[in-house]
Amino acid sequence: MLSLLADVNPYIPAPSWLNSGDTGWQLTAATFVGLQSIPGLAILYAGLVKKKWALNSAVMCFYAFSIVLICWVLWGYNMGFGSPATLGPGILSMIVGIPGPAIGAASELGQANIPLAGSGFPPLRFSGSAMIYFQFVFAAITPILIAGAVLGRMNFKAWMLFVPLWSSLVYTVGAFMLWGGGWLSSLGAVDYSGGYVIHLAAGVSGFVAAAMVGPRLLQDRTSFDPNNLIVALAGAGLLWLGWNGFNGGDPYFANADAAAAVLNTNIATAVALLVWLILDMFALGHPSAVSMINGMIVGLVAITPAAGYVDGYGAIATGGVAALVVWFTLNKVGKLGILKRVDDTFSVLHTHGVAGLMGGLCVGLFANPNMLIYLSGDKKVPAVSVQGLFYGNPKQLWIQFLAALVIIAWNVVATAIVLKIVSFIFPLRASESDIEGGDLAIHGVDPVPAYPAPAAPA
């Protein structure tokens, strides 16, 4: 039958608007980002936690990735990137999109679109399904980052309810306001690939969750040595290289800016890792492998909102500034007051929240208006050309600061409300016996070594 069809029509042409290079890169970039979550963060967490929590931490990641996908295609995507919901006058009509399914032949096979298209942004050259999946992997990684703040004590049933609620009600609002043509984007705020929408949101929400769930057992908080650093470094490596898709896919074209964003991502990450490593050597007297991973993550997060807006010099400055600031907040400010009392397992507030904030502010400082330019005929498109303080536009720094305040306030309040709702149904905190037993108590698996020790000689 197939051979008969081939004789009649040897190929099925793509629509004239579809570009195979853009489509191929968008799907590849999305897959890179997906690999950051599973297995990247799953094995990073599993390697960094105490042995009794290795399986639970990985299962939390796989569950979140799965449930967010279902929520995303049924209602979440259109809440973040669809038509605005009219919640009231003024900015209330620019907060979130109308929920509804994003699947079906018309949505999946038709030409992808974004709200910026109305302001002269060139038409995208790939299908809606590519856009839906690309944005899903961003939505999925955000609650997985939040998990890093509550590992070692959150009730798994509460996690199962928290993730779809948070993804649907909290994440989509930030995505729409900055990426979907909403209020913050109308003010001129920009977030190239999620420094605010993903990392600042996850850092703040993770801190709120850690405070409301409560701390780990005292013995776990004082002694939480990684069970397998080589596995953790493998996960960290997947994060680093997976980030090429995180930032490289966000021009929505396989163009020069995508390449520049990938290069800038790696430059900033290398600088931040090295700065962090050197600071540790002065403070501790030796290089720390676990802490070095923190430096790497800070560089990746900080360059995320800036990757395609800054040049290579801006990437160096962003990585260096973020590493210095976050190292100080983590090691000095984090030892003070409420920050010390809240048990944020992997310091998500600092490595993602503060790092994302610093990256967003660095856009206001270092954005080079010649980096991201699309042509409409022979004219530049001003809607996507960003100019920072050092290029003569101090206003951009203020706008970035304002957008950060809005994202912080929204995530503090909304996350607290979502957790409170969850607490009426399931306890947020696992039982003391589950916290004591870890994987064995929660999943029925004894945390034994992967390979049994050789038998003793007779």
Residues 6+ apart with CB under 8 A from 399: 187, 188, 189, 364
In the prediction, which pLDDT does 10 show? 55
Average pLDDT of the segment spanning 435-451: 72
Q: What is the DSSP letter of 93?
A: G
Instruction: Please check the confidence at residue 375 and state whether its pLDDT lies above 50.
Output: no
pTM metric for this prediction: 0.91
Residue 228 in domain: yes
Average pLDDT of the segment spanning 86-102: 83
Instruction: Please check the confidence at residue 74 and state whether its pLDDT lies above 50.
Output: yes
Q: How far apart are CA 366 and CA 386, in angstroms?
A: 10
Average pLDDT of the segment spanning 376-395: 71
Residue 339 in domain: yes
Average pLDDT of the segment spanning 406-429: 98
Q: How far apart are CA 416 and CA 77, in angstroms?
A: 23
In the prediction, which pLDDT does 447 show? 58
Residue 456 in domain: no
Residue 13 in domain: no
Question: Residue 407 sits in which domain range?
Answer: 20-111+123-443
Instruction: Please check the confidence at residue 5 and state whether its pLDDT lies above 90.
Output: no
Average pLDDT of the segment spanning 416-437: 94
Better-scored residue on pLDDT, 209 or 19:
209
Domains in the chain, number = 1
pLDDT tens digits for range 43-62: 999 999 988 899 999 999 99
Residue 159 in domain: yes
In the prediction, which pLDDT does 94 show? 86
In the prediction, which pLDDT does 373 show? 58
Residue 453 in domain: no
Average pLDDT of the segment spanning 408-434: 96
pLDDT tens digits for range 120-154: 567 888 999 999 999 999 999 999 999 999 999 99
Number of neighbouring beta carbons within 10 Å of residue 374: 19
Instruction: Please check the confidence at residue 363 and state whether its pLDDT lies above 80.
Output: yes
Instruction: Please check the confidence at residue 172 and state whether its pLDDT lies above 60.
Output: yes
**Domain CATH number, residue 81:** 1.10.3430.10
In the prediction, which pLDDT does 348 show? 96
**Residue 79: closest CA among 205, 177, 197:** 177
Distances (CA, A) of 248 to 116, 151, 193, 212, 251: 19, 30, 9, 36, 7
Average pLDDT of the segment spanning 365-393: 72
Q: What is the DSSP letter of 95?
A: S
Residue 407 in domain: yes
84: left (phi over 0), alpha (psi -120 to 50) or beta: beta
Number of neighbouring beta carbons within 10 Å of residue 119: 13
Residue 11 in domain: no
